[in-house]
Structure 1
Amino acid sequence: MLLGTWKLRSFTTEDLANGEKTDLFGAHPDGYLSYSADGRMHAIVLKEGRKAPAGVVPTDAERIELYSGLSAYAGTYNTDGDLVSHHVDASWNESWTGTVQVRRFRIDGEHLYITTLPDKNPVTGKQSTSVLVWTKVKSVDKAAK
């Protein structure tokens, strides 16, 4: 069941032209993916090793570096067999806003495997697929807070 929150464990991209596999967001990316019972979803993926800006207001160069290490979007979702469709309402990349991002998914115990369909990668511009591996986040005990 997709419902709940998942923590990102890995994000591997394969260039379909040459079969080369890379970790575009590093060997240990960070991020979360959540699916709620009301049909809403949101995802944030962060590159490993992002550096905080020197001051409260990032310089233009720091902004570019922070932006290039980020992918995030939110919207609604629906499933059909092993496909999940993300209907994007808001996105880090406005070219995704208003689109439907279709992914294959598989759940194995506490792990969720999301595979993008072959398409132009928004980071590299090359035809590729990506596999993101997520681990189910345990519920927070609200009484303990």
Structure 2
Amino acid sequence: MPQERQNCTGPQLGTWKLESFTTEDVATGQKTDLFGAHPSGYLNYGPDGRMYAILIKDERKAPADLVPTDTESVDLYSGLCSYAGTYSIEDDRVSHHIDASWNESWTGTTQVRQFKIDGKYLYIKTLPSRNPVTGRESTSMLVWTKVE
């Protein structure tokens, strides 16, 4: 069945580059740069209501050959988070309705985030939930800059 076409407008439209990704453990309050001090990645919100996000840990090592070994594959996978789907915005919350993801447990779910745009910066904060990387209850703050 064909999907109804969305026509989204607003300052969220376009491509955003990841500047920082800080996670806070709910139980302890401890903050960590889960993907290192200088992660990379992109987030895009399209006028058609579709979005994608890709986050990459800093200092990932390239495999020794084109085809990574099992150990290299695990290292590469653990330094990656990506998903795509549709999005909707209500007040200060953006919901990512995930169609495809690096972690199949997210596929088919809706991930709700608080968000704020301040000039060229987009701030996204996850709601308290079990972190798919650490397994611990946490929140994450991601800071993005608009790609011009």
Q: Please, what TM-score do these two structures have when normalized by structure 2?
A: 0.93
SS at match of 2:75: helix
Q: 1:12 aligns with which of 13, 22, 25?
A: 22
Cα distance in 2 for partners of 1:106, 1:47 equals: 24
Unaligned runs of 5+ in 2: 1-10
1:76 corresponding residue in structure 2: 86
2:13 matched to 1:3? Answer: yes
Cα distance in 1 for partners of 2:29, 2:128 equals: 12
Unaligned runs of 5+ in 1: 139-145
1:62 corresponding residue in structure 2: 72
Over the residues paired in the alignment, what is the CA RMSD in angstroms?
A: 0.3
2:8 corresponding residue in structure 1: none
How much does 1:62 deviate?
0.2
2:147 matched to 1:137? Answer: yes
How much does 1:136 deviate?
0.1
Cα distance in 1 for partners of 2:85, 2:26 equals: 28
Aligned length: 138
Q: Please, what TM-score do these two structures have when normalized by structure 1?
A: 0.95
Cα distance in 1 for partners of 2:69, 2:29 equals: 37
Q: 1:52 aligns with which of 62, 86, 111?
A: 62
User: Aligned partner of 1:115: which letter?
Assistant: K
2:122 corresponding residue in structure 1: 112
2:37 corresponding residue in structure 1: 27
Cα distance in 1 for partners of 2:12, 2:128 equals: 22
1:142 corresponding residue in structure 2: none
2:32 matched to 1:37? Answer: no
Cα distance in 1 for partners of 2:92, 2:60 equals: 33
Matched-pair identity in % = 70
User: Aligned partner of 2:55: which letter?
Assistant: V
User: Aligned partner of 2:49: which letter?
Assistant: G
User: Aligned partner of 1:62: which letter?
Assistant: E
How much does 1:68 deviate?
0.1
